[in-house]
Chain A
Amino acid sequence: DIDGVGHKYYLDLELEDVLDNDRTVNCTAEVLYHLGSKTSAPDVQLTVQGELRSTEEADKEFYHRIRSLEKELVAENIPDSHGNVPPELEPIHLLAWAASGYVIWQNSTENTNFNLAQVKHVKQVKRNDEDLQFDFVVLLHEMVSQEVLPWQVTLLWHPQRGARVPQ
């Protein structure tokens, strides 16, 4: 409890690599929820203790595959009702997760618990610069209210520069 400011949490986390279940990395984080504010996202400081696996090869491959598509990529319902994701859409699924992470962070309070329920829609937008752009509609499930709400979020991605949500 920080008087007049808000509540601060100190966390010890273990990150598990979704694509390589044995790989874990320890992290520490500090999260500050501001007092009474429903409009500002919590402050987050994260320290990763160790190295994340290099994904250079896979990143390059994905980047070139998408850049060389004749028509912009469009997809819906990832995963489908039965939980399936076609292998070529798996990277899009992962990017949607990252994009959802941003939305969840921006909308979290001490009384929310969000998870990505499903990617409703994704559309690639061709750009003049080197970034890939994906416009997502993601469905986020909030545990306490049990609501599933759609959110629009645009994600930019580049093999070296990584993922960003443009402001």
Chain B
Amino acid sequence: DQVLHIVPETIQQVHHLQLLCSTFMLDLWKPLLPEDIRAGEDLHIRVPAPLVQEVKESLAQHMISYRVLIPDVQKLVDQSMPREKSSHREVSGGYVYTEYHPMEEIYQWMTQIQKNNSELVTQHILGKTFENRTMYYLQISQPSNKTKKIIWMDCGIHAREWISPAFCQWFVKEILQNYKTDPKISRFLQNLDFYVLPVLNIDGYIYSWEKDRLWRKSRSPYENGTCYGTDLNRNFNSSWGSVGVSFNCSSDVFCGSGPESEPETRAVAQFIRNKKSDILCYLTIHSYGQLILTPYGSTTTPPSNNEELMQVAKEAAAALTGKYGTSYKVGSTALILYSNSGSSRDWAHTIGIPLSYTFELRDNGTHGFVLPADQIQPTCEETM
């Protein structure tokens, strides 16, 4: 069932809406009675699921514009129930995708995913973190005799941005659940491989679970162990150290002792450098801000393929907004956010990867980094 928001513009539209309500016996939420429908005033109607298509077509025929206020009434009802009674959790293969998971569980999840989908998924070692934890990525690749181009996506470069690893996990689940039945996904897999790194900054992520929820950086020590962490997204070799950084370890944008000084950065950079001629698109997922960011952060001079970058990004943003109305802004970091150097996205572009984007997921500051778990599903669905 959906609830539609309409503002009738003319008497004719009002009459048509009144007709619709009585013919289909629609549930008027606002106003209470059909006779109270007025031009210029808000109208909210609940349309039962089997009638949604027909009603929308009828509205379109009469040039009545509408907005979907509630895309799924049942979902909202379930969510408003206390947790124990709520049956609405996205559980697949025993894993709850609508909750945040600690690193231990994400490691187990990767093993399970490969086990359950071995025809498509292989788990590989990328490298090690400072605290010696193994960094794994998942390769989703449909066996074929042609070499395929690669789309790389990493999540969790900043520890506190929990929605980011949640999205990577959701993404993998969606692909694996739907590749046989969804024509778009199956076409993707015929021509492309997905490489997904669910958590890049594992040490930092664990630290944000155990010690400081709002930690951002890695956990490598500096200044004789009196200060910890490099901002991994300032540590790549793209105008490293030039702008939007600090050389002081106590800063949240400390760029490290040199480009690629951190093992996590090196692990990612080495891999991408080796495969760069096959990588079509580099995606790095962050929060928050609701932005799709293009190169560069260190200069406002646009990249050579800026038109293409912007066009693709704008289409992505429009598709995203189409789902739940969440608005995303599109543009280069230097122009719409702030100046920074050493970002992974800029580096990927400078070594020749044509489509390179940073996604800043929900929200806009209301919850910021501490996005409630009940927003995992809508955030991931719209971003898909």
Contact = CB atoms under 8 A, between A and B. Distances in A.
Given A141-B214, A146-B253, A83 B372 contact: yes
A77 B337 CA distance: 28
A79 B213 CA distance: 11
B214 A118 contact: yes
A39 interface: no
A144 B338 contact: yes
A65 B295 CA distance: 53
A22 B6 CA distance: 12
B252 A79 contact: no
Contacts of B42: 22
B100 A82 contact: yes
The 5 closest A-B pairs by CB, nearest first: A83-B372, A115-B365, A146-B252, A148-B214, A81-B213
B369 A117 contact: yes
Point out which of A80, A83, A115, A148 has the most chain B C-beta atoms below 10 A from its C-beta: A83
Considering residues B100, B367, B368, B374, which has the most beta carbons from chain A within 10 angstroms of its beta carbon?
Answer: B368
Given A22-B42, A144-B338, A117 B209 contact: no
Interface in A105-145: 115-118, 139, 141, 143-145
A77 B216 CA distance: 18
Q: How large is the interface on B (under 10, 10 to 19, 20 to 34, 35 or more residues)?
A: 20 to 34
B231 A146 contact: yes
Nearest to B369: A117
A83 B375 contact: yes
Interface in B211-245: 213-214, 216, 231, 244
B370 interface: yes
Contacts of A118: 213-214, 370
Nearest to B252: A146
Interface in A1-42: 18, 22
Nearest to B376: A83
Contacts of A81: 100, 209, 213, 370
A43 interface: no
Interface of A: 18, 22, 77, 79-84, 115-118, 139, 141, 143-148
B368 A145 contact: no
Given A81-B209, A117-B214, A147 B371 contact: no
A145 B251 contact: yes
A80 B371 CA distance: 10
Nearest to B216: A146
A109 to B, nearest CB: 13
Contact of B368 (A77, A82, A116, A147): A116
A139 B212 CA distance: 12
Nearest to A147: B252
B252 A117 contact: no
A129 to B, nearest CB: 33
Contact of B373 (A82, A144, A146, A148): A82
Given A145-B251, A145-B253, A79 B214 contact: no
B370 A83 contact: yes
Contacts of A115: 365, 368
A84 to B, nearest CB: 6
A114 to B, nearest CB: 9
B379 to A, nearest CB: 11
A82 B372 contact: yes
Contact of B367 (A79, A143, A144, A145): A79
A37 to B, nearest CB: 22
Nearest to A146: B252
B368 A117 contact: yes
A139 B215 CA distance: 12
